[in-house]
A and B are shown apart, each in its own frame.
Chain A
Amino acid sequence: MPKIRLISRLDVKDENLVKGIQLEGLRKLGNPNLYAKDYYEDGIDEILYLDIVASLYNRNNLSDIVERTTENVFIPITVAGGIRSLDNVHKILQTGADKVAINTAAIKRPEIITEVAEAYGSQCMVLSIEAKKTPGGNYECYYDNGREHSGFDAIEWAKRGEELGAGEILLTSVDRDGLMRGMDQDIIRQICSEVRIPVICAGGADSAEEIAKAAFNGASAVAIGALLHYKKKTVHELKEELTALGVEVRR
């Protein structure tokens, strides 16, 4: 029986929780700390904060939000967005984060994966991959929150990331983000079978059925945004349904 972690993905812009569609067209939802606390109380397994404009402005604004989170949320916290140096990693870990997810900086300078893994352990280094399907049916890595394309093949990049020392992969399907029309199970299956490290899948987790499919396709965790933010489901409901679908979850 596969087992899955449910991660709340909180996209943040200027202190506000936001949610877009295909990483664009943002809607403001409110205070991210309140959402994190609610999801924690309802049984979410991890929190993922993403500063979605950080790469554009060369900075990550999440320190205060993360620090406030540690006051009443006692589960792992991952921070993503605009992390490009060991100094950035150090600062964000000091505010109470457990892991960092890096996309743009790793595409520009892959050695940063090894540097972070050596300094803070591979468990701290999550390689974030934002994949879009090409007309030819392959998957290409995008960066700067889905705005720029890298020419990197997503599957090859995942394998290389593992070799360089990443401890987990955060795989976001840009095509499916925020649409509530299911996950890209094809890329999930391919990447999960190509790497031995845990893969967190994101983009289009719109039902327990989709999350269960991802689990059976090898995902170790699913990051959920819109489904929870728009209160279509609670964490508790999702866990009940996943159990009924034969997927093990933390009770």
Chain B
Amino acid sequence: MKVIIIDYGLSNLLSVKRAVEYCGFDAEISYDPEVIGNAECLILPGVGAFSKGMEQLKSLGLDTLIREHVDAGKPFLGICLGMQMMFSSSEEGGIHAGLDIIPGTVEKIPDITTDGEPLRVPHVSWQKVSFDRYPDHPLFSGIESGSEFYFVHSYEGKPSDTKMLLASCVYGGRDVTAIVSNAKGNAIGCQFHPEKSGHAGLALLKNFLTRNTA
């Protein structure tokens, strides 16, 4: 299976490519609608602002292609901003529509803890992710629940159907969405960066990729 990493001008794509290759799969970085439309597996990485990300996807005509890919049941992974763009909308810099793969909204992380203490935002941290909601999910195979992953974000996705919330971490006393999945299970979104999360991140990425080749 060849993995197509979507290039829409906004992220560190080389690390994602290297991580996919490290897991034993071929990867190609592309913004070509032809390549993306015919892909077996898509990864949508991304950092930066939500509105700019969506704008770029639309201007390249990729938003529709991504939705078609997901509707066809083919594997899709969104990372960080790529995960946030899977939601219906975001409140970052005004309300902006997303890809609507995961019904729900993307909201600002409060800069105060549940105890009323000041909380640093952006949330930049290695955070323990609990797999307790779906301990037997194939995505978590061989990885200990509570393993740490690298998060860097100021906004977080809130799925309206909590069944779509696969895993979360805790920041400032609150649960923060870490992994989401659509109902079919072919589209996964990670708020953290699996390609930057050491061995645990690579294991999770490998589980995502191998699950879809079995």
Contact = CB atoms under 8 A, between A and B. Distances in A.
B196 A97 contact: no
Nearest to B194: A74
Interface stretch (A30-38, A114-122, A133-141, A173-181): A114-122
A40 B14 CA distance: 18
The 9 residue pairs across chains A and B that have the minimum distance between CB atoms: A121-B48, A250-B126, A96-B14, A123-B152, A70-B18, A121-B47, A250-B148, A198-B124, A96-B15
A13 B145 CA distance: 42
Interface residues of A, number: 33
B195 A97 contact: no
Interface string B13-53: 11100110010000000000000000000000001110000
Interface string A40-57: 100001000000000000
Given A74-B195, A75-B150, A93-B12, A197 B120 contact: yes
A5 B81 CA distance: 22
B96 interface: no
Interface in A128-187: 167-168
A71 interface: yes
Contacts of A40: 198
A96 B16 CA distance: 9
Interface of A: 3, 5, 40, 45, 67, 70-72, 74-77, 93-98, 118-124, 167-168, 196-198, 220, 250-251
Given A74-B195, A118-B49, A196-B120, A123 B14 contact: no
Q: By DSSP majority rule, is chain B's interface helix, strand, loop, or mixed? A: mixed
Contact of B148 (A96, A122, A167, A251): A251
A74 B17 CA distance: 11
A120 to B, nearest CB: 5
Interface in B188-214: 193, 195-199, 201-202
A121 B49 contact: yes
Size category of the binding interface on chain B:
35 or more
A123 B120 contact: no
B201 A74 contact: yes
A124 B18 contact: no
Given A5-B125, A96-B12, A74 B196 contact: yes
Given A121-B81, A220-B124, 14 more contacts: A5-B126, A40-B198, A74-B22, A74-B198, A74-B199, A75-B198, A77-B15, A94-B13, A98-B15, A119-B48, A120-B10, A120-B48, A167-B122, A197-B121
Contacts of A251: 148
Most buried by B among A45, A98, A168, A197: A98
Contact of B122 (A5, A72, A198, A250): A198
Contacts of B19: 74
Nearest to A119: B48
B130 interface: no
Given A96-B15, A167-B122, A196-B111, A120 B196 contact: no
A198 B152 CA distance: 11
Contacts of B195: 74
Nearest to A98: B12
B123 to A, nearest CB: 9
A122 to B, nearest CB: 6
Contacts of B198: 40, 74-75
A152 B111 CA distance: 28
A119 to B, nearest CB: 7
